[in-house]
Amino acid sequence: MSSESPSFLYSIAFFVAFAIPEALNILLPAFGDAVTQRRVKVERAYPPLLLPVIVTGVTVEKVTSSISPINRDRSELPKAITHEPPQKPQIPIHFPAIIDDLDPMAKEPVRVLVTGAAGQIGYALVPMIARGIMLGADQPVILHMLDIPPAAEALNGVKMELIDAAFPLLKGVVATTDAVEGCTGVNVAVMVGGFPRKEGMERKDVMTKNVSIYKSQATALEKHAAPNCKVLVVANPANTNALILKEFAPSIPEKNITCLTRLDHNRALGQISERLSVPVSDVKNVIIWGNHSSSQYPDVNHAKVQTSAGEKPVRELVKNDEYLNGEFITTVQQRGAAIIKARKLSSALSAASSACDHIRDWVLGTPEGTFVSMGVYSDGSYDVPAGLIYSFPVTCRNGEWSIVQGLPIDEMSRKKMDLTAEELKEEKDLAYSCLS
C-alpha cells in the first residue's frame, strides 16, 4: 500500500477520527463523550463515515444515555415512543432522531393532542404536525391521537402510517380511545372529534351529543393536560363546543380556549387574491367576525394588499363595493357547502392547514402589522356580548392573543356583527338547555 493510495489515506483518517478518540474514551470518559458527540455530528454530515462506527462497535445507547436528559422525569406520561430504537441496533437507522437529542440546544418534544384523529381532517392534520408545519421545523413533537372505539382500527392504521413516514421531528405516537390517556401531559389540544349532523336529526339532538362530548373532554383536559395547555376547537358547532369546554374546565384559563375561524379567514384571503390576481401572501387583515357558520361576517374594510407602490386598501383596488358587500361575503359564508357539493365530503386539507396556521401564529406570533381571525372568549370588545366565543381580529405575541382594538365599524358591519352574535347567544341557550 503506497502512501499516496486512497486506502492508505483512509486508514490515516480513520485512525485520527476514530481510533484516537476511542482510546481517549476509555482513558478519559468525560473527554471521550465530548468527542463522541462531535463525531456523531460529523457522521450526519458525512454518512460514509458511519461504517467505522459499526466496525468499532460504538453503541447508540451509550451516546444517548450519557447526554440526552429529555423526558427523564416523565414516567407518569403515556409511553409515547412506539418506535423506540432497539437496544443494540445493527444498522444506525435511528441516528437522525438521536442526533437531535445530542444538540444541547435541542428542544424538548411538545405533546399535541388531536381528537377525532381517525377522521378526514385528522388524517390531513397529523402529518402536518409531524412535519413541523404547526410548531416549527425545529420543534420535536409527540402526537396524541384520540378517537372512539368504533374508529380504533382506523386510528391504528393512521399510527402505522405515521411510523412508516419516518418523520424526523416525530418522537412518539400515543393512539388511544381513552380520553385520560389521550389528554395526559398535552401542551396543545386540537379538538376535531365530534358528532356530525345526520339526515333527519334535529339541531338540538346534535347539540346534545356534542355538549356531552365536550363536557367530558373538558374534564379530562382540565385534570390531565399540561399546565397552560392551549386548546383549539375545530369540531362543529365550533364556537359553542369551545364555550362548553371552557365552562367545564374552569381551571384552564379562558385565554387558552379558542375555536377555529382561520379557515374562513383564509378563504376570504383566497377570494381577494383570486379577484385581484395577486399572490395570497400579499393580502392581509381580512376579518371574520362571529360564528363559524353561515352567519359569520367576512369583513374587508381593514384589509390591505401589498403592491409595488406600497400597501393599498382592498376596497381601493377592487373598486367594486357591490361585489365586496354581496357576492364576496356570501361566497366565503357558503364556501364549506360548496366544497361538500364538489367533493361529496367536507373540507379537510384546508381545515387542517388552517388549524396549523391558528396554532402556529398563537404560539410563535403574528407578523408585525398583520392580524388574523380567532374564535376567542369575548370580553365585550366592539360591543360583542361578553361570555360568547366569538371570532375577532387578533394579534399574537409571546404565546398570547389580544383583540385588535379601535377599528372603525360602519353601520353595515355593525348589523352583521350583531346578527352573528345573536345566533351565538341562541346556540349558547340551546347548549345549556341540553345540559339540564
115 contributes a contact to ligand NAD by CB under 6 A: yes
Q: Which residues pair with 299 in a beta bridge?
A: 287
152 contributes a contact to ligand NAD by CB under 6 A: no
213 contributes a contact to ligand NAD by CB under 6 A: yes
Up-side HSE of residue 337: CA atoms within 13 Å toward CB?
8
Amino acid at 409: I
| Cell triple for 270 | 383566497
Is the preceding peptide bond at 279 cis, omega within 30 degrees of 0? no
296 contributes a contact to ligand NAD by CB under 6 A: no
192 contributes a contact to ligand NAD by CB under 6 A: yes
User: Is 262:353 a contact under the CB 8 Å cutoff?
Assistant: no
| Cell triple for 360 | 402556529
Contacting residue, 116, 172, 290, 298, with ligand NAD by CB under 6 A: 116
User: Residue count at the site for ligand NAD (CB under 6 A)?
Assistant: 28
159 contributes a contact to ligand NAD by CB under 6 A: no
Residue (139 or 294) nearer to ligand NAD, CB: 294
Contacting residue, 80, 207, 235, 244, with ligand NAD by CB under 6 A: 235
The mark string for 246-275 relative to ligand NAD (x by CB under 6 A, - otherwise) is --------------x--x------------
Least distance CB 118 / ligand NAD (angstroms): 4
Residue (141 or 235) nearer to ligand NAD, CB: 235
Question: If you compute the radius of gyration of the chain from its CA atoms, what whole number of angstroms results?
Answer: 26
148 contributes a contact to ligand NAD by CB under 6 A: yes
Residue (123 or 371) nearer to ligand NAD, CB: 123
Residue (25 or 217) nearer to ligand NAD, CB: 217
Least distance CB 238 / ligand NAD (angstroms): 4
Work out the end-to-end distance of the chain between its first and last CA atoms, rounded to an integer number of angstroms.
89
| Cell triple for 375 | 374564535
Least distance CB 335 / ligand NAD (angstroms): 10
User: Is 239:291 a contact under the CB 8 Å cutoff?
Assistant: yes
Interacting residues of 93 by C-beta distance below 8 A, sequence separation 6+: none
d(CA 171, CA 110) in angstroms, rounded, equals: 9
Contacting residue, 132, 172, 194, 298, with ligand NAD by CB under 6 A: 194
d(CA 403, CA 382) in angstroms, rounded, equals: 10
193 contributes a contact to ligand NAD by CB under 6 A: yes
User: Is 160:127 a contact under the CB 8 Å cutoff?
Assistant: no
Residue (144 or 304) nearer to ligand NAD, CB: 144
Site for ligand NAD in 334-353 (CB under 6 A): 346-348, 351
77 contributes a contact to ligand NAD by CB under 6 A: no
120 contributes a contact to ligand NAD by CB under 6 A: yes
What is residue 87's DSSP assignment? S
Least distance CB 304 / ligand NAD (angstroms): 24
Amino acid at 80: A
The SS3 call for residue 393 is strand
140 contributes a contact to ligand NAD by CB under 6 A: no
Least distance CB 192 / ligand NAD (angstroms): 5
Residue (18 or 248) nearer to ligand NAD, CB: 248
292 is catalytic: yes
Torsion, Cα 177 181 187 191, to 10 degrees, reads 20
Residues in the chain: 436
Residue 170 dihedral angles phi and psi, to the nearest 5°:
-85, 110
Whose grid coordinates read 450519557? 66
Helices (H), 344-389: 349-364
The residue number whose beta carbon is nearest to ligand NAD equals 119
381 contributes a contact to ligand NAD by CB under 6 A: no
Catalytic site residue from 144, 224, 265, 292 = 292
Region near ligand NAD per CB under 6 A, out of 61-69, 186-194, 265-273, 422-430: 186-194
Helices (H), 147-261: 152-164, 179-183, 203-224, 238-247
d(CA 281, CA 390) in angstroms, rounded, equals: 25
Cite the active site residues. 292
Binding site for ligand NAD (CB under 6 A): 115-116, 118-122, 146-148, 151, 192-196, 213, 234-236, 238, 260, 263, 292, 346-348, 351
